[in-house]
Every structure is written in structure tokens, then in C-alpha cells.
Amino acid sequence: MAIPDMERLRASWRAQPERARLGVVPERIDEDSAVYTVDLRYGDGREDDPLYTSAAVTFAADVAATSAVRGRLDEALQQLNGTISLHLNFLAPLVGLITIVTRVVSMGEQDAVIDIIAHDDRGTAVLKGVVDYSLRPRAPREDHRK
């Protein structure tokens, strides 16, 4: 399992201006789930732009799904490869603080399926989705001491 130290992870996110600009923050990652928040209360024109807010939430959903897979990953045998498909249904307007919860529902040797649900700060479901994520076998390490 590759569950990161959350304080170090948050610090690395704060150090990257593009992530901070989107308002995306990792909150929790465990063995088969992850929680990220997106604070859409930017205080400028971005929060009134549905294209910007949906892009921020889509980015957060994809990263949260990857984080959930990473928590269950057997690093001796597997490595992350990339998102195969990301299907999101937007159910309500995206406003305020959005909490995205992802959970691995199936994981094999080559792929994982992740469920996504997001709520706003009033508890309204604003997004429901599913991600297919690709894994690949870890290449054996060569012994360079010879």
C-alpha cells in the first residue's frame, strides 16, 4: 500500500500554484478510498464560470480516484498507468465547498473501478461517477551491483 503522509502531501499541493488556484485539497487517503475538497469560493469571476468550476471538480475527481487506487496498490507487483475512462454525471450546480469521495469497488491485476460521489457544503449531491483506471505490472529491478 502507498498511503501518503497527509501533511506532506498537502504541503506539496500548496507549493504548486496551479493546484492552489483550482482550490483542490487532499483531505484523506486510506486503503481503498480518498476524499478531496474543492473550494469554489474564489472571490472573483471564476466561481461564476461553470466551465472553470466543472474543470476544477473534474480534475479533483480524477486525482481522488487515482489516490484511492494508490492506497490499495501492491507496489511490489503493480504500478499506476493512467485513467482509462472518467464518466461523471453532474447533478446540481457546483457552488461553495465540494467534497469528493472516491472508493475502489473492484481491483484486479490490470485495472480498477472507482465509484465517485460529490456533495456541496449543504449536503446536496452534485456529482456521481465512475472511473476505470489502468494498472501495469511492475518491471523487475535489475541488480546493478554485478
Average pLDDT over residues 110-138: 96
Q: What is the pLDDT of residue 145?
A: 56
* Predicted TM-score (pTM) above 0.75: yes
Alpha-carbon dihedral angle through residues 39, 121, 60, 135, given to the nearest 10 degrees: 150
Domains, the chain, ranges and CATH? Answer: 6-137 (3.10.129.10)
Q: What is the pLDDT of residue 7?
A: 85
Rounded-to-integer distance, Cα 126 and Cα 37, Å: 13
The grid cell for 91 is 447533478
Q: What is the pLDDT of residue 146?
A: 53
pLDDT digits (tens, 9 = 90+) for 39-87: 999 999 898 899 999 999 999 999 999 999 988 888 888 889 989 999 9
The grid cell for 52 is 472553470
Average pLDDT over residues 8-28: 87
User: Kindly report the CA angle at 68 between 79 and 17, in degrees rounded to 5?
Assistant: 90
Task: Collect all residues with Cβ–Cβ distance below 8 Å to 48 and sequence separation of at least 6.
Answer: none
Percentage with pLDDT > 70 across the chain: 95
Of these ranges, 7-11, 22-26, 117-121, the one predicted with the greatest mean pLDDT is: 117-121
Rounded-to-integer distance, Cα 62 and Cα 58, Å: 6
Q: Is 16 exposed, middle or buried (0-12, 13-18, 19+ CB in 10 A)?
A: exposed
